[in-house]
Amino acid sequence: MKIGRRSFLSLGIGGIAGIMLSPLPWKLMDDSAIWTQAWPWTPVPPKGEATYVNSACTLCPGGCGISVRKINGRAVKIEGIEGHPVNDGGICVLGLSGLQLLYGPTRIRFPFKRVGERGAGKWSEISWEEAISEVAQKLGDLRKNGQSESVACLSGNDKGTVPALFKRFFSAYGSSNFMRIPSVSDSYELAVLRSSGQKAQLAFDIENSDFILSFGSGIIEGWGSPVHMIRANSIVRKAGGKIIQIEPRLSNTAAKSDKWIPINPGTEYALALGIANVIILKSLFNKNFVDSNTSEFNKFAAFVKSVYSIDNVEKITGIKKETIEALALEFAGAAKPVAVCGRGQGKVQGSLGEVMAVQALNALVGNINKKGGVFTVSDHRYFTLPGSVPDATKLANHFTDEVKSGKYTAAVLFVYESNPLYSLSDSKSVREAFAKIPFIVSFSSFMDETATNSDLILPNHVYLERYEDVYAASLPIPVISLSSPVVSPQFDTKHAGDVILKIAKKMGSPVADSFAWNSYDSYLEEAFGDNWKVLSEQGFLEDRTVALAALITASKKFDFTAGFTDIKSLYTPLVTEGDPDKYPLFLIPYDSMRIASGYIGDPPFAVKTVEDTVLKGNDILVEVNPVTAKALGLLEGNSAIVETARGKAKVKIHLFEGIMPGLVAMPRGLGHSAYDNYLAGKGVNINELIGSLEDPASGLDAAWGIRAALIKA
Amino acid sequence: MDSKIISGELKRCSTWQFALWISAAGAVLLWGVYAMLLCWFKGLNQTNMNDSYGFALWIWADLAIIALGGGAFFTGFLRYIIGKDELKNIVNYAVIIGFICYSSALIILGIDVGQPIRGWFIFWHANVHSMLTEVAFCLTCYLFVLIIEYIPIILENRRIDNIPFFHNLGHNMHSIMAVFAATGVFLSFFHQGSLGGVSGVLFGRPFAYREGVLIWPWTFFLFTWSAAACGPCFTILITKITEKITGKRLVKDNVIELLAKISGWMIGTYIIAKIIDTVYWIKVTLPATGFGLMDFYSNNPFYGIWILVLEIVICGILPALILISEKGRKNRYGLIIAAILAVLGVCINRWVLVLQVMAAPVLTFETWQMYFPSWQEIATTILPLAYGIIIISFSYRYLPVFPQEKELNPWTINGGK
Amino acid sequence: MKEEKSDKSAKKFGMVIDLDKCTGCGSCMVACMAENNVPFKEDESKKLVSITWMRVYRLTNGKSFPDTEICYLPKPCQHCGGKGEHGHSPCVSVCPATATDYNKETGIVSQIYTRCFGCRYCMAACPYHARYFNWWDPVWPKGMEEYLSPNVSVRMRGVVEKCSFCFHRYQLAKDKAYYEGRSDIGENEYQTACAQACPAGAITFGDLNDSGHAVYELKKNKNAFRLLERLQTNPKIYYLSSRQWIRRAGDNYLKNEK
Ligand SMILES: Nc1nc2c(c(=O)[nH]1)N[C@H]1C(S)=C(S)[C@@H](COP(=O)(O)OP(=O)(O)OC[C@H]3O[C@@H](n4cnc5c(=O)[nH]c(N)nc54)[C@H](O)[C@@H]3O)O[C@H]1N2
Ligand SMILES: Nc1nc2c(c(=O)[nH]1)N[C@H]1C(S)=C(S)[C@@H](COP(=O)(O)OP(=O)(O)OC[C@H]3O[C@@H](n4cnc5c(=O)[nH]c(N)nc54)[C@H](O)[C@@H]3O)O[C@H]1N2
Ligand code: SF4
Ligand code: SF4
Ligand code: SF4
Ligand code: SF4
Ligand code: SF4
Ligand SMILES: [Mo]
């Protein structure tokens, strides 16, 4: 009964020794280590053989070639294709994050029909059959009532076979309201049209130039084809070329340039004209070119001489006379100079006068349609279709105003590869206009702002799930790449091309008669005809004949006056909105490679790269010169309210020596209300604060900023 | 109620009073335990540490309490190896305080690592080049030594001592205690040093980096020295606080004064070495890395040159002078103030060599990083305090910790058994 | 630290980053995240708890408008060789559990996640802040785990991680060469994800010891410098800049030093 002290002790000690000698504690220790190395909630990616699929990125107009690594059917990494004419292996933040979009939580999984209030987020899942019938029915009814024109489309893009299908549909249906989202291309196109009578785009040959005079173009900030331009910048650097950046803020392009010249915002055109004046006065221009390839030179020369004297330009732009003179000498003296315009990433149209003034400089040095200069690239067709593809492009920047004012009644709006509710300026007006459109159909793959506020969603495949021809933006030698399905569709989505074909078929004759194809894929292959083999095998087409064609057709004369009898009306200084007393500062947007501001919202990886001087928690920081901040009693990190005639927003202050006093700079691309928790609610959408500023010469939106007040909060 | 287990004829407070006191400390302890569990289950995101502050409050707490626990090894060293016999009257308490300090340090380390369950990798996959490996081995071994030193004190409890086996065990352990004490002293010299080595070897961090001999930077020796110098002051301070709370005198003045005098000389010599080290660092080590002294004491909201003055002059030279002078250490206030300053000094030294190291930028384009601990870090740092109070309270109540208590408090002896 | 290899052909992989070309676009950061299964959280604006093995710093010359200048500086782990190039990098020498290691064959400082127990001593030791701790469990939104690569293990909460020079790519290249009966790999066969992605071509990666590799000559450029050379950490990342203030920002100098 009694356990002796001794036996108790020996039992204890013996027991412990026994346990320690047994495998038990060691096994438990080992298990504990293994368990912490593979916690069930830490994912273990399954292994497998790696394969690569070549495709093209469509997340911005860049048109980069991509190679996607796959493991057992899963896409695991996107890389740039080495040797691809657009990006040669390089790839941007957004392109690298593509898989977060493909597999992300904001994908729309099936066709949805709104059930609650618009924008309340109440949806019911419907079948593709029902969805297509509903659209066909609605369009059919309108057409019957002679209201075809009340159907409109806002497209992010007007190049390639899918926009062509849309345009063809609109034409067959009887509406001319297929519009692309506004961008600097609109003013490039208009400038080329008015100055040379051509329907063409401007493409600046940066990589072959030796002196780049950039009027605020964000050459390394996502301008044109972003990766291509960054490569071009490196090529220029290596070749010993010079880049001069003219803009009020020390952007990355300015920081990398050989010389940054701050300028009073909105006066870039005046500087260009001032430089032109010096070149003409000093007879530094290319006489041969001017004589044989331009018209109205004398009128232009007289005009700049009288209005844009170097003293005057100094006053307007805030740039010293000597600097202007030196710029003129260097520009005219360079072997292959090019003057470049289109601010930031080129998201805003800009004034016609600015593009014309810059083109005048290029004309003076005779570098239009020459290597290292600027090319007018005509709207070539790589694909042919039986019948014609109508040119139905309209200016989209007037659309919302007309809808809002009732000048145009929109009954149905298609939204394709764009997110107008977020990306058009003066968001409040856009919302009001959209509220007047009874039926909005979104083709979006993601729950973006516009999809959230639509009535029917017909979700498109993501680019990694579909075929499509992809056009690199603004290259002198156009490149078309083929986006190919990397993975099978992850959800019950359909190619927008197929959806248009189905809607047309459902509507029956006569609309259906223009659409003989059974599927988008067969249409694509047929459309490319002989080119299909190269496109599908090589992955891209490079059309060197276009650049050559541009050189040859250069006989078309460049009209220095753009057909304006009164040149002054082309170069009217624009007054930005707002009472200078109430709004003593200027708010300007800036672009960044790290913040996607187009129809795609920044994916988590990209948001992660945003500096804490731009975004802190959910607060956006605006850049202010310390001198300005001091006058307003603001310190680094202070909260403040930015107010403009269009709205106000809470911000934080970031002191930045690289911005002109009197300005407030805010990044584009933040302030999303849609998408996921990695993006939504962070910062402010600058479009809520900026309105449009109509260029009387062209009707384009020339806003580069807006008057603003900054009040300590 | 528990009078049967209370030692001998010593008078102790009533059970309910004791229970109240323990529950107050226990509440704080539970708060700390709650924070500890949060850190274990939710991870170290519960703290305000970050990638600039990989080491923060906890590492400081570890270094500081181990330095303060240095009273145990140094008193043991004086008692068993040098043969300062009077110190037998305080060595028990020094051992208990040491035990509390070392076990607390290990608890904090257990919270501080990101993967506590893998903590034993430090032994299994030991990297002999790492000071932390040395620390881990010596610390653990020394904790065992302290436990062995603590056991005989526990065995002296009246009830346990009644059991012949334990009585004999205790007796036998006492007789070989000098061996353990010597082992402990050896281990302590090493791990106190290794702790100094932890920051001293960081050649990527010019604020911390010190040259030295062989693999040991000067901080290795300075840490051992300062722990030996200031640890006893902590023992004295805790003894004085215990006396204040219990309202009794527990250790004779001559014992305290002896310890204080030795401590004073230790602090004095230490601070001379520390000054030499600092001057050499300023004149030779730092400039080689492109830094000037004031790079580390300006352009930030907290770390000014005052901290160096406070550490060396006010918390170094001053307590040394007080304790070395007979008048100083015999003065009630002088002794207490000097002890407090010495304790503060060693804590500041550890703080600076952990947190200022993290705060100061090394890359020219980085800036100072400031840090304030989260409540979870504070709670877990206070945890050892509550834990210490409880151990001391139980030890004092049930164990004959102070051999001189009976003699010093004849009128409070319990009447009979 | 492994036993010393007397192999004369030991490699020393490193980078030369041309700061004149770097645009600050951030591709290198994201290429690294995508290649190496780096996790992300809802709020990544607290940069001190944000894991980016490659981090692009923004340097300014400190002058006021309009003389301000900016330079971007991408910073991966420097794969320090330590004093005398003996492999005693600041971090490797301190890790108590040998969870980070200097590979004598390649000069790459590895990080073994399943060995690391999260004491963060290495972070305290690294003057470049190249090490990142997993303060949280890595969590991907539902479905997004699909893109995780099996070549790099996902790190659990509580361990340190850092740039590995995409070591798995080296292993894959070596395996491929082995199967094809070759003993060595070519310069192009092993490139890091960041170098590959950089649109500006600012990052050149290769064997600093191999005269056939581009980095061999590039590192000798008169504008080349390394970060904190005075600390004798011996980094394997070289930077190029034609601007003096940037080269000077690479290290600390006494006030009276020229
Ligand atoms: N990292 C990052 N990169 C980005 C973004 C970002 O936010 N972050 N944003 C992206 C977005 S959404 C945009 S809008 C861009 C801005 O880049 P932009 O160049 O402003 O893009 P678009 O506004 O579409 O203008 C390109 C135009 O070029 C025309 N075009 C297309 N192909 C050709 C061709 O082959 N030749 C010629 N001459 N013209 C052609 C089309 O009409 C098209 O409208 O930046 C993109 N890049
Ligand atoms: N989350 C997660 N946990 C896992 C697994 C998993 O897939 N995911 N797999 C489990 C399995 S099956 C295993 S085998 C283990 C493996 O676990 P790990 O050992 O972690 O496996 P790896 O990710 O292959 O290697 C980790 C790191 O080791 C480094 N490394 C590679 N080669 C060397 C070298 O030669 N020397 C040194 N010092 N370092 C090198 C690389 O930098 C790499 O980042 O993990 C287990 N636990
Ligand atoms: S630049 Fe545009 S097309 Fe190229 S990878 Fe980036 S997002 Fe895609
Ligand atoms: S990807 Fe290249 S250009 Fe872009 S930030 Fe990195 S190093 Fe610079
Ligand atoms: S940079 Fe830091 S982490 Fe990388 S090897 Fe050097 S010390 Fe280690
Ligand atoms: S945190 Fe990990 S890698 Fe760093 S020292 Fe500790 S165990 Fe080693
Ligand atoms: S080398 Fe690899 S691991 Fe290191 S930063 Fe570049 S991509 Fe990341
Ligand atoms: Mo394994």
Q: What is the CATH number of the domain that holds A328?
A: 3.40.228.10
Report d(CA B247, CA B409) in Å as an integer: 10
Structure confidence at residue C4 as a pLDDT band (50, 70, 90): very low
Q: Which ligand lies nearest the alpha carbon of A34?
A: 2
Candidates A35, A70, A244, A609: best to mutate against C (most CBs of C within 10 A) is A609
Whether residues A36 and B117 touch (CB distance < 8 A) is answered with yes
> Total structural domains in chain A?
3
Candidates A11, A29, A39: best to mutate against B (most CBs of B within 10 A) is A29
Query: What pTM, to 2 d.p., does this model score?
Result: 0.90
Note the pLDDT tens digit of each residue in A132-157: 999 999 999 999 999 999 999 999 98
**Can you tell me the mean pLDDT for A544-571?**
79
Whether residues C132 and B363 touch (CB distance < 8 A) is answered with no
Closest residue of B to C60, CA-based?
B365
Report d(CA B69, CA B64) in Å as an integer: 8
**Can you tell me the mean pLDDT for A502-508?**
96
Note the pLDDT tens digit of each residue in C215-255: 999 999 999 999 999 999 999 999 999 999 999 999 999 98
**Can you tell me the mean pLDDT for A363-383?**
86
Ligand 5 atom, smallest distance to C131 CA:
3
Q: Which ligand lies nearest the alpha carbon of C94?
A: 6
> Total structural domains in chain B?
1
Neighbouring chains of B at 3+ CB pairs within 8 Å? A, C
Residue spans of the domains in chain C: they are: 2-248
Token output for A154: 């806002």
Residue C172: CB within 6 Å of ligand 2? Answer: no
Report d(CA A62, CA A93) in Å as an integer: 12
Note the pLDDT tens digit of each residue in C136-167: 999 999 999 999 999 999 999 999 999 999 99
Point out the domain boundary residue: A486, A513, A542.
A542
Residue type at position B349: N
pLDDT at A381 over 80: no
A138 and A179 co-located in one domain: yes
The phi and psi torsions of B163 (rounded to 5 degrees) equal -85, 120
**What pLDDT does A227 receive?**
97
DSSP class of residue A369 equals T
Residue C126: CB within 6 Å of ligand 6? Answer: no
Residue C72: CB within 6 Å of ligand 4? Answer: yes
**Can you tell me the mean pLDDT for A439-459?**
97
**Can you tell me the mean pLDDT for A642-659?**
97
A152 and A119 co-located in one domain: yes
Point out the domain boundary residue: A475, A510, A542.
A542
**What pLDDT does A7 receive?**
66
* Segments in B126-252 forming alpha helices (H): 131-155, 158-161, 164-175, 177-200, 218-246
Of C50, C64, C150, the CB nearest to A47: C150
Least confident span in A548-552, A704-708, C105-109: A548-552
A369 and A294 co-located in one domain: yes
Q: Measuring CA to CA, which residue among C34, C252, C202, B325 is closest to residue A256?
A: C202
**What pLDDT does A9 receive?**
60
**What pLDDT does A483 receive?**
97
Give the residue numbers spanning the domain of A640: 585-712
Of C80, C125, C253, the CB nearest to B290: C253
> Is B415 within a domain?
no
Please, what is the angle between helix B253-280 and helix B332-351, to 10°? 40
Strand-strand pairing, A259-261 and A540-542: unpaired
> Is B414 within a domain?
no
Give the residue numbers spanning the domain of B387: 3-409
pLDDT at A4 over 80: no
**What pLDDT does A385 receive?**
61
A269 and A245 co-located in one domain: yes
CA dihedral angle for residue A590, residue A591, residue A595, residue A598, rounded to 10 degrees: 110
**What pLDDT does B35 receive?**
97
Residue C128: CB within 6 Å of ligand 2? Answer: no
Q: Whose CA is nearest to atom 6 of ligand 4?
A: C28
Of C34, C47, C150, the CB nearest to A96: C34
The phi and psi torsions of C210 (rounded to 5 degrees) equal -100, 115
ipTM: 0.89
Token output for B4: 């049967």
Alpha carbon A517 to its chain centroid, in Å, reads 31
Whether residues C228 and B203 touch (CB distance < 8 A) is answered with no
Whether A9 contacts chain B with CB within 8 A: yes
**What pLDDT does A384 receive?**
67
Considering chain A, what is the average pLDDT of its residues?
Answer: 92
Q: How far is CA A648 from CA A568, A620, A643, A670, A712, in A?
A: 35, 13, 4, 15, 13
Point out the domain boundary residue: A542, A571, A597.
A542
What residues in B contact C252, CB-CB < 8 Å? 206, 289-291, 295, 362, 364
**What pLDDT does C2 receive?**
44
The larger pLDDT score, comparing residue B11 to residue A679, is at A679
Least confident span in A54-58, A184-188, A203-207: A184-188
pLDDT at B416 over 50: no
pLDDT at B91 over 50: yes
Partners of A439 in beta bridges: A412
CA of A219, closest CA in chain C: separation in Å? 10
A446 and A350 co-located in one domain: no
Considering chain B, what is the average pLDDT of its residues?
Answer: 91
Whether B321 contacts chain C with CB within 8 A: no
Find which of A215-224, A693-702, B407-416 is predicted with most confidence, using mean pLDDT: A215-224
Report d(CA B2, CA B397) in Å as an integer: 10
Structure confidence at residue C5 as a pLDDT band (50, 70, 90): very low
Say if residues A612 and C57 touch (Cβ distance below 8 Å).
no
Of B121, B131, B287, the CB nearest to C115: B121
Residue C54: CB within 6 Å of ligand 7? Answer: yes
Here the CATH number for the domain that contains residue B315 is 1.20.1630.10
Least confident span in A276-280, B142-146, B204-208, C199-203: B142-146
Here the CATH number for the domain that contains residue A607 is 2.40.40.20
A554 and A662 co-located in one domain: no
**Can you tell me the mean pLDDT for A685-703?**
91
A405 and A306 co-located in one domain: no
Whether residues B43 and C48 touch (CB distance < 8 A) is answered with no
CA of C187, closest CA in chain B: separation in Å? 31
> Is A618 within a domain?
yes
Strand-strand pairing, A211-214 and A242-246: parallel
Neighbouring chains of C at 3+ CB pairs within 8 Å? A, B
As a whole-number percent, the residues of chain A with pLDDT over 70 amount to 95
Note the pLDDT tens digit of each residue in C160-216: 999 999 999 999 999 999 999 998 999 999 999 999 999 999 999 999 999 999 999
Structure confidence at residue B417 as a pLDDT band (50, 70, 90): very low
| The dihedral sign for the CA sequence B188, B189, B194, B197 | positive
Element spanning A281, H or E: helix A268-281
Q: How far is CA B148 from CA B170, B177, B398, in A?
A: 10, 9, 18
pLDDT at A301 over 60: yes
**What pLDDT does B346 receive?**
97
Say if residues A67 and A54 touch (Cβ distance below 8 Å).
yes
> Is A363 within a domain?
yes
**Can you tell me the mean pLDDT for A481-507?**
97
pLDDT at A392 over 50: no
Q: If you measure from the C-alpha of residue C80 to the centroid of ligand 4, how many angstroms do you get, rounded to a whole number?
A: 22
> Is B231 within a domain?
yes
Q: If you measure from the C-alpha of residue C206 to the centroid of ligand 5, how many angstroms do you get, rounded to a whole number?
A: 18
Note the pLDDT tens digit of each residue in B37-75: 999 999 999 999 999 999 999 999 999 999 998 888 888
Whether residues B121 and A35 touch (CB distance < 8 A) is answered with no
**Can you tell me the mean pLDDT for A383-406?**
71
Between chain A and chain B, the number of residue pairs with CB atoms below 8 A apart is 14
Note the pLDDT tens digit of each residue in B22-44: 999 999 999 999 999 999 999 99
Note the pLDDT tens digit of each residue in B225-252: 999 999 999 999 999 999 999 999 999 9
Of A36, A231, A615, the CB nearest to C199: A231
Residue C76: CB within 6 Å of ligand 5? Answer: no
> Is B416 within a domain?
no
Tell me, which fold does domain C2-248 have in CATH?
Answer: Alpha-Beta Plaits (3.30.70)
